[in-house]
Amino acid sequence: MATTPFPLTDTLATAGETGTVAGVTPAFSPLYQQIKVLILQSLQAGEWKPGELIPSEMDLAARFRVSQGTVRKAIDELAAENLVVRRQGKGTFVATHAEHHVQYRFLRLMPDSGDANSEGPAERQIIDCKRLRAPADIARPLALRTGDAVLQLRRVLAFQGTPTILEDVWLPGGPFKGMTAERLATYRGPMYALFETEFGVRMVRAGEKIRAVAADAASAELLKVPVGEPLLSVERIAYTYNDLPMELRRGLYRTDTHHYKNELS
């Protein structure tokens, strides 16, 4: 491990970082973890946008006054968390949801026959898009105050002409100012890529709660199933850098032709 002309924790304090990352206090975390914190700060600040090349390991080592090995270990962790992507002979890039292999990174619903690519992209129908004051059960998971502005949208995703997913999505009003149903309907890429390119918000991880429910009259009509049809209810909270919640999504999934797939390791 390289020595530095000053404790790296002083660098963190100078940069205005006085909190913790992933529950680890910078003063007691390994040096590569402190470098990871600094790189995450730059990502969060938008110094390097999704899809852009970040500085080389040599340049980052010089910038932070540490060894290349320390920087490499920090980037290894960022790559394992899908925050950056290494490309042989080209360098390391900020990961983006616009890339084909991560477009459906958080979508675990798979067709019973074939795979996610075999049925083609989802057909999207925007049912509603409106701004409102957040009730308590929406404000809480988004780390907002009750009554803060949120954007609520409802949409149906269909595969090969069959409506399969009904989603209600809530977004904090500030970061998504200017979002409209028209922008959502005309954007051809995945929704998270729209968040990146138009609003500068990148979802980096998500947590889900899953339960079985029966279709009520409203969801049955939109999904073209009988009332009482078994559905999978999936509630997801998606986070940007530093575990800041940026989306609450409640989806109802048909499972007569699809299944939920998760790989554990």
Point out which residues pair with 91 in neighbouring strands: 87
Mean pLDDT of 104-127: 73
100 or 95, greater pLDDT: 95
The residues, any chain, with a CB within 8 Å of residue 57's CB and separated by 6 or more, are 68, 71, 72, 75, 92
pLDDT of 127 above 60? yes
pLDDT category, 212, cuts 50, 70, 90? very high
The answer to whether 199 and 176 are in contact (CB under 8 A) is yes
- The C-alpha atoms of residue 38 and residue 36 are separated, in whole angstroms, by 5
Tokens, residue 133 = 């004051």
Sheet holding 149-159: strands in order across?
Answer: 123-133, 149-159, 162-172, 244-254, 230-240, 205-214
- The C-alpha atoms of residue 114 and residue 261 are separated, in whole angstroms, by 13
Please name each of the domains of the chain with its CATH number: 8-94 (1.10.10.10), 100-260 (3.40.1410.10)
- Residue 148 is predicted with a pLDDT of 97
If you average pLDDT over every residue of the chain, what do you get? 83
- This prediction has a pTM of 0.71
Instruction: Dump pLDDT digits (tens) for 5-47.
Output: 333 443 343 333 333 333 344 456 899 999 999 998 898 888 8
Mean pLDDT of 178-200: 87
Instruction: Dump pLDDT digits (tens) for 129-180.
Output: 999 999 999 999 999 999 999 999 999 999 889 999 999 999 999 999 999 9
- Residue 257 is predicted with a pLDDT of 85
Helix (H, G, I), strand (E, B) or coil at 248: strand
Give one word for 82, left, alpha or beta, with left for phi > 0 and alpha for psi -120 to 50: left
- The C-alpha atoms of residue 249 and residue 236 are separated, in whole angstroms, by 5
